[in-house]
Structure 1
């Protein structure tokens, strides 16, 4: 029925796309003539829509709560809430309910809701929602499978699958994808999918304005048909649109103006050009704006910020970091710079309209550091080694061929190095295509390893500083011994030991010991200092070189002068300063690079999960393999078909196109159970194919794979910088110039004082000028020596070393001062589930024998089941077999044959040879009233409900209730049928650690919030959380989303500690303020964490908080002592005329600082 309302010479006619379409309404005005201006407005029925941005969503329960609240409002027809996008799409009748009422209902439920637009049509004019009936779903895994398959399609905005209702609500962009493709994607995932027949269009309407001539004329209808399921490549729809556009052109020649404004366009861009080509000269002046389409440049102009990552070499201390950040931020177009000294990486955000990534790298190189782009956001980059080139003609041939190939943006070949650098568009061609092009020219080429692990290798730096430390130590120990000896002997002995006039034995020995250290031990300090001075910056290396060089040169000069003057007394020298300083500073640098290498091992081990080779196949009819080719994984291209054999690693992310198997994704996702893979299933690079060969179509290769993204997340998280480190960077920028200025002022001051008020009795053998200058130089050099960073540099590291030693004795490994400084501030602790809260190994928790039907003793049931499951590779099967062997006390049970394993269902087989074993078993296994079956062979079926139904077994209500009870607790229940009789039920679960509940309770009593975060299903996660007392749960969370959850809490101003054990936890461990890894976890998680619990005891999390409080207190005391030491030492050095005694005081105070810190920490 059509309702027509006339007002202001306008007609409004509601209509349904499914029933008629736009032209069905406009044909009703076929024979109408209009006098003056009129408008025909055709729009959808009184159904509006709105999109709301939500905050406070944590899990599926939140989604369900919002949907139930909004669906209960009058006039609301559809609700779709996306947990991933934190948004809700609501279809409603604006005559019955308003957007503000919908928003208020959500906020009353405890969530924050923000309307993205006051007009639902404007906000979502390019979105539609379709409902698909889905059959074959049995569990939450099916729901996740459908959501993963559909959400990856281009143009899909949100996916909500209801297991209970058996349907999926999909919101998509009709310009990018059609509903039929969505339905096909669900079917390809192994489920039945049927479109419900009604497409809810968020905004679908057509406006036609008619401007007739002065004389009344009959104007034929002008309408553009919109098909409900019209795709941009639909040829029939395109033809219909084209014909009507031609008709519009004819009408324009007859009448003054006909304007068509399209709000939802279902046809390709070439037809839009036809609209633009209409004879607009006869249109009103403002009409052309109604034909204007959104400009892609306007859209892209909104994104003015781009991010790039640089790998920087040559940084040695925090002054280098401060120098790079300060100089880059001076350039216009750079918004922020974040440099990490430990990882040697920099993150730069810049305006791509003013700079490009190469220009950013050049800015860093101009400061004297090496800079290399680690990723390029615009194109692919390939580096090859080419052999067989003999002259420049070969180079020209290769470059010409490459640059003329479509998709290759730039090619540069160097004859001398035999290297080629190629930039290409990965959407057009891949690395393997480029290799084949070069090989077709007659040259041999191989992929140049960019050396991901090369920049993680600190072995050269470690060796350098180790040699510097050992050389300084060899000569520094005798120097220290002589210093102690000189402090103990009297002046008369000192005066009588001159071997030459002006040269004492001690000064000669000091000279001989100091010279090798100054030349060879300080070599790397001089190199770094020269680089800093070359670029007009001052760092700690400059200060160290100034102090040691001036001390050495001054000592040599005054010694030569004394010998030339044949002085009776050998002068006081500073030869002892360089060896002592170099020993301590070189030790610090050596330990620093060892720490860097340990941190980098996390990324190296992550990359070791990546397969090195891949088997690329060519398929024929019916997916038959025509040919196979073994290539390195870097040469796999998007769209390649890759063969993965049983036990092999998946080399790339992809989708299964042939075969079925089980995949172990525990290292990536943390899910302990193998995941079934069939046609349409998605696979993850680095995971392991358990059994069954698979053909996989590559969808994400190279840096796009999940594994590489995890690596990227860890690297980005390690780039972040703690506030205390930023403070140290700023402090170092002022410390060096300040000390140099103080030293110069000391020299000038003592010179003035000496000439104004000269004490003749100081050195009677010297002239006034010589005495004054010697005094001034001694004081100035003493300032440099005493102000060197040995006190500040050793006070905190010493406390950290002692603190970590005490922690190690308690089973807690703490990596450096930052986690020690942060751990006591923690306000939220996030626990991973599998392997952290739980043991990570499935165990049999209950065996229920249905003896009313089985009439079989428990011992026989266990023997038969254990024998059958002993052939299974599934973790649940292994857990059952292990339980049976332990209960029966034997590793050998019976024999199994005709074994068949059906992924996702169960197993079937025949078992024999258990009777002989049972005759020797204990009698306590027998149940009252049980009889003994003497048969020698048993038919066994073990699996889930579906597997039992397939084999014709009926499940009683009491058995169903028992299974449901266990599944509610997050456990897995399986059934056992022997010789056609259902005889037992087994409950299997990943059991909770004994100390988990106590650890959680203790943390909560300390005022720390505890959260459970896991990639496992929501029901299991909630059951485990309830057992240990955790109230807040984040379930079904991917590795990247774990990072987002951590960031979300950090943005609220909370300090977050993450406790985990798997590779999937490593990005979150790195992102958290403190990452805590379980000692039994993966090496990658351990390396990415800040704290490692060796004993696998969660109570050590509580202990680490307490240890942090005590250690931080000691670190602060040491910092205060070091500052006081410098504040007192510098004035003493500047005012003390006796440099030797001052220098002894320096060493004494430093030694006492280390001793007090060590003894105090050991007592704690």
Structure 2
């Protein structure tokens, strides 16, 4: 980028620069005589201390960028030593320039042992600066003359303002005191100053996708380097979202140039969006009142009609909508107005709106429950009355109260009216709103079927009473109560199911602490004032104080103090991460040991936790293809049934007028016995209403919910919680199972795996060794220390420990203390301790050569104890033998943590600790593979540990050191291959991947957020239940398909029969018969679903799996 930024210079200045360069004899004609220079002067080596590197990506970035610097021969960067060794040609590049090059990458560089060579370079640099200053003087003089001439000619006020002598003097002053990069920038300013005199730029923003970042150091590198470039006033990089938002001056720099700057840093960048006037804006709304796919389709269609709206996506399950629009053509109010006029309620989606959404869903459940109870209370008597008069066909039971009005019709009228206008009132409201906007949904179909049947019945009875007929006509009063009763039941069940799927985001956001301690500090980092503020008021750059046990309020970096933090929120690992000044802190993680002061770097929506929330929310809002297909079907279903019913009415009226003999005469009544036209109209309305009644999708609506209810009930009894029909349907089609490691494949709690005594038992017994380390670690807050103490107590069957004094711990190394009075711990379980020790953990004594004497007295034994890693031993001048080092390396290769124990100046033993693999993990992997599934391990842990765990359980495909954002990307990669993917996890960091996967399977002992984000929850924390869930899915989906078969056959046969196709052979349906058929279809679906009650959970044992494999091999 330096070459791109250098302006062309005048000939005079070039000559001056050439003369300056000639002062260094080795720098003559560098471009043409490079080979000669390199031959006569071999490359030199310099070492530069580099601070701020955190990973191998940092070292690779530094090496790649330094290799591009002219004059650099070789670069070697060591992460552990924080050192860069550079071979360079001093004729072409100076150590100072190399140091500045590293600084420009966002790291802190410090020259090592090269002070003597800097004087000459500084002389050359100052000489060059003088030449450049001469050039600037010439350019500024030209500007003065041009501005003066323009003023004389009567230029604008803007031009006069631009010629302020003060500003020119400021430039002259800067030209003599700036750095080399600043000089180059000033040359550009000088040459283009006049051209921009009459313009004033307005800052704009651009958003870029940045890939290749692996840690917070990468973020700091990009932000720091961008801010050094002229024209860039702000840069904010989000690691989780892999995006950068840059505020820039469009007159100085363009988004494409910013992209090139990031590329030059070693990252891949792509311009996503330029935020200026007229850009694309996004609006997120919470929408209530939706209950079916037709509602979703109607809202999306209405909003898309608004000029300027480019995208509309509504999620029925989460009651949310996302809309994109051009700010020049549309606005939020227009979109909200269109949705509200369609009959729905909506408001801006905020963090607080999640609570109101839950409250609204609860109100919806109560609403449909009330409607169902009204329909049930008054609908059952209607059914009882209908059955009674069907059985008692003798006319003596058909009591005529008034001419044309029978007791039967009067009972029907009273009960049906209550159900029609009380139990069905919500359908009327929604249907009216839909029709007002020229759309049709299920509510329209329901209202038309019930209202036509009701009004027709009222009209024919009133007409019979007016004519004072002797009998009472046949009516369809029984149709509305029966229809509304079943439909209200379905809506009630649906609203309950939907309410259970909306808690994940609110629980995720509850991890964010509500308050932060804002402090001011003096020069020596002493706190001078402190106050508590809302975390929403925290600004970038604020100094915050976090006490032990407190949550980190926002993302930031430590500026003072030492501590350890539980970052399982992000990494999924329970091991604490040690923090020192300069360390990155993650908002929502827990500070464990010491008080720290931190500087806020990312606040509000830019924090890591907020990014995870956004990932979960976006994944929930996105639509599966099958849902889009369902929306299209819903858009044509209702109009199709209405058209079919109308055609049925018209066709039968035409048939009755042309061929009245085809109208079944035995359905006539005294009311229409002698009137062919009245008979035709009666029969035509009968079949038309029957079509509407029988086409109500009760069976289709109950096919999935009833099977899901029974299936999930059986799953709960088996320790599996399945959330709805979609995961049940998808689980049977899975091709790949992704397992998280910590807490999923493993227990998630560190356990002692091995204890090895490295001195003869005559010096220290195995029991004493356990008592000493158990007592020492009892004062430690480290999870590994707690595991050692817990193990020692279990092995020695003791609830007490000895006395620990002079305890101190050094983060990253280990602890030291004095242990006394261990006899109480040794005597607690003396009778059975030997058996206990040998049965649980391998303790292998190893002879060593001439160990130093370990002091041991009966009553007052004193042990000076050191426990920690190799460096801790070396730091305390203790030798780690090759044998001990080799043994540690063997256990570390298995993914275990090995620590050494020194007692009284002798390395006396070793303890290995690991997160143990679950007992059933290997069998579960074997069972899943036998089911034809690919099994993958995906973890944020290091590759060595991940490979070791995978090898133990039989997994061959491993992705290690994966951040939550990358976990989602890995899931997407597998999905793009056409695989249906299940993610099995337990932590908050797994929740985005759980949501993004086709089926998210959460461990019941994991976090509440993971369980809410998962589609399936394993309550008993047994990995074999993953296979059981898939088996249950297959059984349930098979039952759902049977239910749909019944429903489709019922509609396919029922609608033509209801339309009177078989009436010539004497087979036709009255409306009440159509309602009864609809009820029977629903009953058949429910009974079919109840067969799932006979489901039995499969039993998996290693022996059974082996026998099955042998049987398959023999076949």
Q: Do the aligned partners of residues 936 and 1134 (structure 1) sit closer, same or farther apart at CA in structure 2, a change above 3 Å counting?
A: same
CA contact (8 A) 1:249 1:278 kept: no
Aligned to 1:395: none
Aligned to 1:475: 378
Aligned to 1:735: 637
Q: Do the aligned partners of residues 848 and 486 (structure 1) sit closer, same or farther apart at CA in structure 2, a change above 3 Å counting?
A: farther
CA contact (8 A) 2:472 2:671 kept: no
Secondary structure of 1:1148 counterpart: helix
In structure 2, stretches of 5+ residues that fail to align are: 22-27, 36-45, 65-74, 87-96, 146-179, 197-249, 259-270, 838-842, 848-853, 1061-1067, 1097-1115
Aligned to 2:211: none
Report the alpha carbon displacement of residue 492 of structure 1 after superposing the two structures with TM. Answer: 0.7
Secondary structure of 1:974 counterpart: strand
CA contact (8 A) 2:819 2:862 kept: yes
Aligned to 1:344: 319
Report the alpha carbon displacement of residue 168 of structure 1 after superposing the two structures with TM. Answer: 6.8
Q: Do the aligned partners of residues 1021 and 169 (structure 1) sit closer, same or farther apart at CA in structure 2, a change above 3 Å counting?
A: farther
Report the alpha carbon displacement of residue 785 of structure 1 after superposing the two structures with TM. Answer: 1.3
Report the alpha carbon displacement of residue 846 of structure 1 after superposing the two structures with TM. Answer: 0.3
CA contact (8 A) 1:617 1:626 kept: yes
Q: Please, which of 1051, 1075, 1085 is the counterpart of residue 1153 of structure 1?
A: 1085
Aligned to 2:290: 315
Q: Please, which of 581, 584, 587 is the counterpart of residue 679 of structure 1?
A: 581
Question: Residues 26-425 of structure 1: matches in 2 within 5 Å?
Answer: 133-134=49-50, 163=79, 167=83, 180=100, 241-247=132-138, 271-277=187-193, 295=254, 307-330=282-305, 334-350=309-325, 364=339, 367-374=342-349
Report the alpha carbon displacement of residue 786 of structure 1 after superposing the two structures with TM. Answer: 1.1
CA contact (8 A) 1:853 1:983 kept: no
For the pair 1:993 / 2:918, whether they are aligned, the reply is yes
Question: Residues 808-887 of structure 1: matches in 2 within 5 Å?
Answer: 808-852=716-760, 855-887=763-795
2: distance between equivalents of 1:993 and 1:597? 34
Secondary structure of 1:851 counterpart: coil
Report the alpha carbon displacement of residue 1056 of structure 1 after superposing the two structures with TM. Answer: 1.3
CA contact (8 A) 2:389 2:397 kept: no
For the pair 1:720 / 2:611, whether they are aligned, the reply is no
Question: Residues 449-528 of structure 1: matches in 2 within 5 Å?
Answer: 450-457=352-359, 458-487=361-390, 489-492=391-394, 495-528=397-430
For the pair 1:570 / 2:472, whether they are aligned, the reply is yes
* CA deviation profile, 1:650-702 (whole Å, cap 9, x unmatched): 12111112212111121333111111122111112221111221222112222
Aligned to 1:1091: 1016
* CA deviation profile, 1:1047-1094 (whole Å, cap 9, x unmatched): 122223222111111111011000011111112211111111111122
2: distance between equivalents of 1:44 and 1:1072? 59
Q: Please, which of 551, 559, 579 is the counterpart of residue 461 of structure 2?
A: 559
Report the alpha carbon displacement of residue 772 of structure 1 after superposing the two structures with TM. Answer: 2.7
Report the alpha carbon displacement of residue 989 of structure 1 after superposing the two structures with TM. Answer: 0.4
Report the alpha carbon displacement of residue 937 of structure 1 after superposing the two structures with TM. Answer: 3.2
2: distance between equivalents of 1:333 and 1:839? 53
2: distance between equivalents of 1:518 and 1:169? 86
Higher alpha-carbon deviation: 541-550 or 1083-1092: 541-550
* CA deviation profile, 1:996-1040 (whole Å, cap 9, x unmatched): 222223333333222111111121111111212222221111112
Aligned to 2:72: none
Q: Do the aligned partners of residues 494 and 473 (structure 1) sit closer, same or farther apart at CA in structure 2, a change above 3 Å counting?
A: farther
1: distance between equivalents of 2:429 and 2:688? 24
Aligned to 2:541: 639
1: distance between equivalents of 2:112 and 2:1015? 51
CA contact (8 A) 1:703 1:709 kept: yes
2: distance between equivalents of 1:524 and 1:1027? 59
* CA deviation profile, 1:295-330 (whole Å, cap 9, x unmatched): 569988975766553333333321121123334445
2: distance between equivalents of 1:799 and 1:1072? 23
Aligned to 1:650: 552
Higher alpha-carbon deviation: 546-555 or 159-168: 159-168
CA contact (8 A) 1:183 1:195 kept: no
* CA deviation profile, 1:946-976 (whole Å, cap 9, x unmatched): 2222333221111111111111111111111
Aligned to 1:775: 683
Aligned to 1:1072: 997
Secondary structure of 2:623 counterpart: coil
Higher alpha-carbon deviation: 836-845 or 1026-1035: 1026-1035
Q: Do the aligned partners of residues 243 and 888 (structure 1) sit closer, same or farther apart at CA in structure 2, a change above 3 Å counting?
A: same
Q: Do the aligned partners of residues 581 and 618 (structure 1) sit closer, same or farther apart at CA in structure 2, a change above 3 Å counting?
A: farther
Question: Residues 954-965 of structure 1: matches in 2 within 5 Å?
Answer: 954-965=879-890
Secondary structure of 1:454 counterpart: helix
1: distance between equivalents of 2:123 and 2:557? 30
Secondary structure of 1:743 counterpart: helix
Q: Please, which of 1016, 1031, 1036 is the counterpart of residue 961 of structure 2?
A: 1036
Aligned to 2:976: 1051
Report the alpha carbon displacement of residue 643 of structure 1 after superposing the two structures with TM. Answer: 1.5
Report the alpha carbon displacement of residue 933 of structure 1 after superposing the two structures with TM. Answer: 3.5
2: distance between equivalents of 1:782 and 1:29? 99
Report the alpha carbon displacement of residue 169 of structure 1 after superposing the two structures with TM. Answer: 11
2: distance between equivalents of 1:744 and 1:160? 83
Aligned to 1:111: none
RMSD between superposed Cα atoms in Å: 4.2
CA contact (8 A) 1:465 1:587 kept: yes
Report the alpha carbon displacement of residue 270 of structure 1 after superposing the two structures with TM. Answer: 5.8
Q: Do the aligned partners of residues 26 and 1085 (structure 1) sit closer, same or farther apart at CA in structure 2, a change above 3 Å counting?
A: farther
2: distance between equivalents of 1:46 and 1:787? 87
2: distance between equivalents of 1:590 and 1:302? 44
1: distance between equivalents of 2:13 and 2:1032? 77
2: distance between equivalents of 1:145 and 1:470? 66
Report the alpha carbon displacement of residue 863 of structure 1 after superposing the two structures with TM. Answer: 1.1
CA contact (8 A) 2:17 2:131 kept: no
Q: Do the aligned partners of residues 160 and 619 (structure 1) sit closer, same or farther apart at CA in structure 2, a change above 3 Å counting?
A: farther
Higher alpha-carbon deviation: 1033-1042 or 772-781: 772-781
2: distance between equivalents of 1:236 and 1:1022? 58
Question: Residues 792-807 of structure 1: matches in 2 within 5 Å?
Answer: 792-807=700-715
Question: Residues 905-924 of structure 1: matches in 2 within 5 Å?
Answer: 905-919=813-827, 921-922=830-831, 924=834
Aligned to 1:1106: 1031
For the pair 1:1017 / 2:949, whether they are aligned, the reply is no
Q: Please, which of 429, 433, 447 is the counterpart of residue 531 of structure 1?
A: 433
Q: Do the aligned partners of residues 518 and 971 (structure 1) sit closer, same or farther apart at CA in structure 2, a change above 3 Å counting?
A: same
1: distance between equivalents of 2:1087 and 2:731? 25
Aligned to 1:1120: 1045
Aligned to 2:671: 765
Q: Please, which of 638, 649, 669 is the counterpart of residue 747 of structure 1?
A: 649
Aligned to 2:529: 627
Report the alpha carbon displacement of residue 147 of structure 1 after superposing the two structures with TM. Answer: 10
Report the alpha carbon displacement of residue 538 of structure 1 after superposing the two structures with TM. Answer: 0.8
Aligned to 1:588: 490
Report the alpha carbon displacement of residue 509 of structure 1 after superposing the two structures with TM. Answer: 3.0
Aligned to 2:174: none
Report the alpha carbon displacement of residue 459 of structure 1 after superposing the two structures with TM. Answer: 1.8
1: distance between equivalents of 2:806 and 2:251? 70
Higher alpha-carbon deviation: 734-743 or 314-323: 314-323
Secondary structure of 1:455 counterpart: helix
For the pair 1:1081 / 2:1024, whether they are aligned, the reply is no
Report how many residues are paired: 915
In structure 1, stretches of 5+ residues that fail to align are: 1-13, 33-39, 48-129, 152-158, 171-176, 199-224, 255-263, 281-290, 376-448
